[in-house]
Amino acid sequence: MTTTYAVTAERSGRFWALEIPEVEGYTQVRSLTDAEPMARDCISFLTNVPPNSFDITVTVKLPTTVQQHLKDSHTLAEQAATAQAQAAAESRAAIRELHQQGLSLKEIGLALGISRQRAHQLVH
């Protein structure tokens, strides 16, 4: 069974601070792309095992303000998706109502600036 080490990367000035609690290891890198190999070297050195004998999971710890922006972004995206679905339902209802009032699909298309084929799709 392969051991997996959890590595936490957190921005610290111009560097990324890496913490590896399982081995009480700490190191740093300039670029997040270097986190995995540097953590692997650190773990290998501290445990005296080959660097390819274990797995690593790197988790980036973002600042609280950034986390809040991302949370707000996801909330707004969900609200936008809901609004988009509601808007589509209202468009279909409008087209169906026009069709029930006797307008042809061609007339509906001309009135709403859509093709007859699109009007047909939305009516049915």
Answer yes or no: is pLDDT of 104 > 90: yes
- The predicted structure's pLDDT at residue 12: 95
Per-state percent for the chain, helix, strand, coil, to nearest 5:
60, 25, 20
List the one residue out of 33, 25, 28, 35 whose CA is nearest residue 14. 28
Question: Has residue 99 got a pLDDT over 90?
Answer: yes
Kindly report, residue by residue over 38-96, the tens digit of the pLDDT.
999 999 999 999 999 999 999 999 999 999 999 999 999 999 999 999 999 999 999 99
Where does the chain show beta strands of DSSP type E? 3-12, 15-20, 25-29, 54-61
pLDDT over 90 percentage in the chain? 98
Please compute Rg for the chain using Cα positions: 28
pTM value is: 0.69
Mean pLDDT of 86-111: 96
What is the predicted pLDDT for the residue at 1?
84
The b-or-e profile of 105-122 (16+ CB within 10 A means b, else e) is beebbeebebeeeebbeb
Instruction: Return mean pLDDT, the chain.
Output: 96
